[in-house]
Amino acid sequence: MSAREFVDTNILIYAFDRTAGEKRTLAATRKLAMPSADAARQVERLGRWVVHRPAFEDVLSATELHQLRRMSYWDAMVLTSALKLGCPVLRSEDFSDGQLWGPVVVRNPFTPARRTPR
């Protein structure tokens, strides 16, 4: 079994947002106009993902990170969640690709070096 990766929900939104242009192309694995069986498999697959529900302590940790590192609160919450779940990889466009945050490395799927050739 491979290690968990934390995915910023923006990446998922782009996969299904018809107005997201190239980000949709890069984030999506198939178009929304898919047969119902494919849609059901997609929902089933996403249903197996672990969702982090921040506890009070996580909110305080994110607030502290926000203040100390001068990052947006929401970016701090995403990073706090990745750390809390023990994910070695954080997939997000809101940090620099390759940036290290303790044991977590950021991978920005929209960075040209990360793009998969078509």
CB contact at 8 A, 6 and 82: yes
> In sequence order, which residues have a C-beta less than 8 Å from that of residue 59 and are 6 or more positions away?
77
The tokens for 104 are 């977590």
Residue 45: the pLDDT is 85
99 DSSP β-pair partners? none
Rounded to whole angstroms, how far apart are CA atoms 117 and 108? 16
Cα four-point dihedral sign 4, 114, 80, 73 = negative
From first CA to last CA, the distance across the chain in angstroms is 27
The pLDDT > 90 percentage for the chain reads: 48
Q: What is the pLDDT of residues 4-61, one digit of tens each?
A: 889 888 887 887 777 888 887 777 644 456 677 877 887 788 888 888 999 999 999 9
User: Which CATH number fits the domain that encloses residue 104?
Assistant: 3.40.50
Number of domain units in the chain? 1
Range of the domain at 65: 5-114
The overall pTM is greater than 0.95: no
Instruction: Please determine, for residue 86, whether its predicted confidence score (pLDDT) is greater than 90.
Output: yes
